[in-house]
Amino acid sequence: MALLGPLFRVLAALCVASPALAADLESVFEAHQATGTLVIERLGDGKRWVHDPARADKRHIPASTFKIANTMFALETGVVANVDEIIPWDGKVRRIKAWNRSLSLRDAIKVSAVPIYQHVARQIGLDQMAGLLAKLGYGNVQTGEQVDVFWLRGPLRVSANEQIAFLKRLNRRDLPFSRDAQEATIEIMEVMRGEDRVLRAKTGWEIASNPDIGWYVGWLESQDDVWVFALNIDVTDKAHRAARSDIVLAALGEVTGRALSDMRRPRP
């Protein structure tokens, strides 16, 4: 019985700590005047932090976050030999200047080049794409009839929690695809690096709904652990474009107890 006192004190401390973490995530959203959900899961022990659990189960069109899966599909099928193979520009001038040139997948994912990934999807073909999506078990597993727009306009939809499930398996190289395809996809997801940490992530911007939906998904890896995250927010202000990553970085600082201010984008 003498041990019960210390045990109760530990349990009480844990009960107090959890709401504080939730409140910290809420304050991050409030600071950016954003409405949405964020799920963070620490892989070492499965601990989760969730802002708006109900929304975390709601499916949205994945938009450019699907480029992660699309990269892996392109490599798995041999549509591209590797992430550095140059995919020719189709010659159509688009408003985003970085898209108006030939690109490798390594470069295309950095500038979120929609035309390059649409070309890849057309090369894969609708039937094969549907089979790959079913094998992956991603979201509602729907391609519809157009192979080059289903992740931009629908019918493909995925929730934040489903993004987490997908990313956890990718991080562990546990998807039903070749290890080489998974490794190469993970490699080109890198967006920031610090002395002992790497952030791998992808943005997304769904414009097929009202309001638009902004995504940021990926993970932070360190020598000690990995924190997988998936955020989606309503886009009602131009500031929300930057808020996608800003919210996640601030939340990761809260969860890990260490700000990400030391991290920098890798040199080309």
d(CA 82, CA 87): 11
Terminal alpha carbon distance of the chain: 62
User: Is the confidence at residue 236, as pLDDT, over 50?
Assistant: yes
Q: What letter would DSSP give residue 267?
A: P
For the chain, the average pLDDT equals 91
What are the tens digits of pLDDT across the range 196-223? 999 999 999 999 889 999 999 999 999 9
User: Is the confidence at residue 265, as pLDDT, over 80?
Assistant: no
User: Is the confidence at residue 19, as pLDDT, over 50?
Assistant: no
Tokens of 186: 């993970």
Q: Residue 36, Cβ neighbours under 10 Å: how many?
A: 25
Of the candidates 206, 192, 77, 61, the residue with the CA atom closest to the CA atom of residue 131? 77
Exposed / middle / buried, residue 5 (Cβ in 10 Å: 0-12, 13-18, 19+)? exposed
Point out the catalytic residue in the list 18, 27, 64, 102: 64
Given pLDDT bands bounded at 50, 70 and 90, which one contains residue 238? confident
Tokens of 89: 């520009």
> 209 catalytic, yes or no?
no
User: Please, what's the b/e burial string for 245-262 (b: 16 or more CB within 10 A of its CB; e: otherwise)?
Assistant: bbbbbbbbebbbeeebee
Of the candidates 126, 147, 138, the residue with the CA atom closest to the CA atom of residue 66? 138
Question: What are the boundaries of each domain within the chain?
Answer: 23-256
CA distances from 216 to 162, 180, 191, 208 (A): 13, 24, 12, 17
- 23-256: CATH topology is Beta-lactamase (3.40.710)
**pTM (two decimals):** 0.90
